[in-house]
Every structure is written in structure tokens, then in C-alpha cells.
Amino acid sequence: MGQAYGFFEIPSVTAAVVAVDIMCKTAEVEMVTWEKKLGGRLVTIIIRGDVSAVTQAIETAAANGIKKPVAYVVIPSPHEEVLKLVNNSANRIA
């Protein structure tokens, strides 16, 4: 299977850090970047890995995090325009 990207939006930076910890401990995924909005009251985490690993990581974080996510999705083999958005976000943080 090809690379998948997981997008996980959650309220608060602390909850986001816990979610990333859960995701990375659950499956072979890596955090690509994150976006903080509203002064950190809303955080979008972006991870990548193979489809099954990303799915497992996202679902486990949604079920076991300290806050419920606002939204989450797994995109298998994302379009190159999606990858441009992700790379632009990651480059702003680096």
C-alpha cells in the first residue's frame, strides 16, 4: 500500500501533544507538521505512514485521547495539491 496522510483536529495544544504521543506509540507513523489556530485552542496534526498504520494511529488517538477530536480523516495516496499544502505548512514551522 502507498503513503497515507492523517489529519487530526483537536482542541488545545496539550490534547494535541497527547494525541501525537498516542499515534506514534500505536503505529509506525511520523508527524509531518501541525497547525495551531485560535491561539492554540484548535490544533490540526498531520501524520503520514502506510494506510493501515495511519488509520490505526488516528482511530486510537480519537478513542483514547484526553479530549475528543473535532474532526479527523485518513487520505490514502493524497493528490499532489494536498501534498503542496502539507509541505507549505511544514516549511513554515521548520
**Model confidence pLDDT, tens digit, residues 46-90:** 999 999 999 999 999 999 999 999 999 999 999 999 999 998 888
> Could you give the CA distance from residue 63 to residue 42 in angstroms, rounded to a whole number?
18
**Model confidence pLDDT, tens digit, residues 16-38:** 999 999 999 999 999 999 998 87
pTM comes to 0.90
pLDDT at 93 over 80: no
Where along the chain do its domains lie?
Answer: 3-93
pLDDT at 2 over 80: no
Q: Give residue 58's pLDDT.
A: 98
Residue bearing cell 498504520: 53
CA dihedral 14, 43, 29, 61 (to 10 degrees): 60
Polymer length in residues for the chain: 94
Does the domain spanning 3-93 belong to CATH 3.30.70.1710?
yes
User: Facing residues of 36 across strands?
Assistant: 43
